[in-house]
Chain A
Amino acid sequence: MIRDITLGQYYQTESVIHRLDPRTKLLGTLVYLISLFIFTKPWVFVTAAVFLLLVLVLSRVPLKFMLKGLRPIIFILLFTIIVNMFWIKGTVLVSWWKLSITVEGLKQAGSMGTRLILLILGSNLMTLTTTPTRLTNAMESLMRPLKLIKVPVHEIAMMMSIALRFIPILLEETDRIMKAQLARGADFESGNVFKKAKSLVPVLVPLFISAFRRANDLAMAMEARCYHGGKGRTQYKPLKYKARDFVAYFILVLYVAAVIVIGKFIT
């Protein structure tokens, strides 16, 4: 159950998307996310979905695996759709008591839902095809100009990469501790909300202790290897754009152009 969260989890396989420079993927994802919010037209969403599907096929990540990433947001998704459905005023379609569904509401709910799904899937695809290390390398590289105004770019990137690196470890740890407590007769499923919350104490306490222990060990190991922050630090594998990245940027520009054309001129 705990393994369903795919955020920050890398899907290991060999594909052109995996090999792309992480900066390309990061900027590409950013552009993609923005493209979802410029227009609210069905054809734009179709274009975006097709584009995503294309990248997915190229990435060789199984569709099933990526869809799993939607599971944690099902509640938010339903909430958004329902609120939008009843909230928006307009031409009434169905109504009973004080609630009414309008045509505009349905449209809004549909577009918000689609937007949310594509948003999550799009960013999921990035984390599935990029290792956390490469992702933070990309962030560090893209944020480098901020160093001029004294933003500790390297330190921020390091913290993020550690945080990302620890997500799967902590998930595994949670799984292990839950199993250990289940073996002692714990019951995480029955009872009301309060009982359920209380039943998690035997999981959370060991989890926190273990997180602190790991943080401590890691700090010690980093100091033992003379880590002293970003000053004068070079990289083992500096990021370099390759021909395929320019192709990817070109495709991205085409996609944006397509979205604008479709959004502006097709009704």
Chain B
Amino acid sequence: MKLIADHLVYEYNKGTAQARRALDDVSFVLDSGEFVGLIGHTGSGKSTLVQHLNALLKPDSGSIYYEGADIYEKDYDRKALRGKVGLVFQYPEYQLFEETVLAEVSYGPKNMGHDKKEAELAAYAAIKRVGLEDECFDQSPFDLSGGQKRRVAIASVLAMKPEILVLDEPTAGLDPAGRTELLDMIAELKEKEGMTIVLVSHSMDDVAEVADRIIVMDKGKIVFDDIPTEVFKHVSELETMGLAAPEMSYVLRDLKAAGIPVNEGAITLKETKEEILRVLS
């Protein structure tokens, strides 16, 4: 067990007429090595939730335990925690500020107390990890393309060598190719480096293929928390929340409705293809 969220409640604009509960009794356990997809419509509280995971926000009640310690304890080292639970914000390219990519990415490890050489080594590895070319190192991050900037921003969190990597809508605004590449890269971080991943998205298609557990949020509450195939069985509930099941599950549903004896439950394109072929042969 790595991280436990225990009955989190958080309210925005507390004490004013616009008070709004962003988190309403949210509890879950994040295990080591998991790949969790956190899904919810805009305003469902998912971004608020992830800002609690590294203690950027403090809940009104409830707490979070990381490796057995309460992260809101007065003497808890929250700076070190932020190195362990790496959070990549939405549109992270808007946080860039340094003159070179290398300096940008070494900002995190330097803050974690590493000396210049260690920080740059970590930065070097992280930049390579996100698939940027060597030429980029001395370039200004502002001269890069949008997709590359985002990679630099992700690298800047990876360079702190987090154990849990939380990404808030990492594919927002990317073209389809960039999206696939980025999702593949994230999946690889889990496969090859055993990182625990929390991927926040409002698109089921983003997480369906890669996540091995899906948490669905609606109006500040966790509605479903299960393996993908189970979650996607609740198509109509998901739709009333303004979400949708992955496109492939609609294909199978419609085929079944048309009288073709396929089994529902396949999520990815590959699984669906195999299922259709199985029925046809």
Contact = CB atoms under 8 A, between A and B. Distances in A.
Interface of A: 11-13, 62, 64-65, 176-177, 179-187, 201-202, 205-206, 209-210
A184 B16 contact: no
A95 to B, nearest CB: 43
A201 B157 contact: no
Interface stretch (B28-36, B87-95, B205-213, B273-281): B87-95
A36 B54 CA distance: 48
* Most chain B CB neighbours (cut-off 10 Å) among A64, A184, A185: A184
Given A187-B79, A202-B97, A65 B108 contact: no
B200 to A, nearest CB: 14
B130 to A, nearest CB: 15
A15 B224 CA distance: 41
Contacts of A201: 97
Interface residues of B, number: 28
A183 B111 contact: no
A179 B56 contact: yes
24 contacts: A179-B51, A179-B89, A180-B89, A180-B92, A182-B82, A183-B54, A183-B56, A183-B87, A183-B89, A184-B95, A184-B108, A184-B156, A184-B157, A185-B82, A185-B83, A185-B107, A185-B110, A186-B111, A187-B111, A202-B95, A202-B97, A202-B107, A206-B94, A210-B94
A65 B51 CA distance: 25
Contacts of A183: 54, 56, 82, 86-89, 157
A79 B54 CA distance: 38
Interface string B77-120: 00100110011110010111100000000011011100000000
Contacts, number: 63
Contacts of B157: 183-184
B17 interface: yes
B56 A185 contact: no
Contacts of B15: 62, 64-65
Contact of A12 (B17, B87, B110, B142): B17
A204 to B, nearest CB: 8
B145 to A, nearest CB: 16
A209 B140 CA distance: 14
Contacts of B54: 183
Contacts of B82: 182-185
B239 to A, nearest CB: 31
A205 B97 CA distance: 6
A193 to B, nearest CB: 19
A182 B156 CA distance: 12
Given A179-B89, A184-B160, 15 more contacts: A13-B17, A62-B15, A65-B16, A177-B94, A179-B51, A181-B95, A182-B82, A183-B87, A184-B82, A184-B107, A184-B108, A185-B110, A187-B79, A206-B94, A210-B94
